Amino acid sequence: MFDLESYLDSKRMLINTHLDKILQNPSNSSRLMEAIHYSLMANGKRLRPVLCIAAAEVVGGQTEEVLKAACALEMIHTYSLIHDDLPAMDDDDVRRGKPTCHIAFDEASAILAGDALLTLAFQLLSAVEISNGSQAVTWLRIIHRIADAAGYRGMIAGQMKDIASETRLLSMEELEELHALKTGALIEASIYSGASLGGGRQEQIDQLGIYAKKIGLAFQIKDDILNVEGDPALLGKAVGTDKMRQKNTYPYLMGLEKSKSFAEALVTSALQAIEPFNRRADPLRAIANYIVQRNR
């Protein structure tokens, strides 16, 4: 039986080591770098970089081929969390089990740390081809896809819709679109990046794209559920905040039990999409199930 815990531990260790190496520069001893390191090296799930690596592996690629892309994706995700936690956004005090960046430092430092992580991610992505031009077109497509997922047509658009919707009730279609942008877009870009760099054929990339879309929505639904019934000690952040802020969530619109059933159905669809793949897809299968079974 596939051991997901060992797989995740090994990949997280590799990702953390590489992230720490990127940040370790004697000339970077500053309050800004302290804030960046504080947020980036916190106890995150590393889901997006792990998915990037797993997608590369399932099409026959190697971890080393996608490690820079995986780390860049985590930088972008962390930047989004830093900014989401700011008083002007969600005004959260705890993230990943410790004070949020603006609480630990200050608002200006948190804003600049987020900005720095976003630009560092694209610096890292674009620097690959300075020394290796053999996959220049592939890397350019990946940079474009990630930028689109993180930008005003993706994650930022989703965040804006989330803020605007606090004053009105959304339809189910509107809520799904919001989550597809805010959470799903970067997850889909993670899978696409790994599969492309791993040398996947177009039909493989397409099937993995279906998988990514399904688990992206399932992940957000589970987050909504945990905000209702999760344990703050395990989550590393407060619960009940969605209700307090009158946010549109799946439990609010569908009810808790129907939300759980919907998330399970999405995972079933995701698993069906990757049925044609061999045992190399076991990590992706296990991650899909983990998404709806997790407690953090």
CATH code (residue 282): 1.10.600.10
Among residues 26, 73, 22, 21, which one has the least CA distance to residue 47? 73
pLDDT of residue 160: 95
With a pLDDT cut of 90, the percent of the chain lying above it is 84
The answer on pLDDT for 215 being more than 60 is yes
pLDDT of residue 129: 60
pLDDT of residue 166: 85
pLDDT of residue 130: 54
What is the number of structural domains in the chain? 1
Residues 22 and 15: their CA atoms lie apart, in Å, by: 11
The answer on pLDDT for 43 being more than 90 is no
Among residues 200, 180, 182, which one has the least CA distance to residue 191? 200
Domain range holding 254? 4-293
Among residues 77, 101, 222, 232, which one has the least CA distance to residue 159? 77
Q: What is the pLDDT of residues 187-202, one digit of tens each?
A: 999 999 999 999 999 9
Q: Under a CB-based contact definition with an 8 Å cutoff, are residues 296 and 17 in contact?
A: no
Please compute Rg for the chain using Cα positions. Answer: 18
pLDDT of residue 132: 58
Among residues 226, 205, 222, 296, which one has the least CA distance to residue 266? 222
Give the model's confidence band at 213: pLDDT under 50 very low, under 70 low, under 90 confident, else very high.
Answer: very high
Segment 101-130 mean pLDDT: 93
Q: What is the mean pLDDT of the chain?
A: 94
The answer on pLDDT for 65 being more than 60 is yes
Instruction: List the structure tokens of 85.
Output: 């936690």
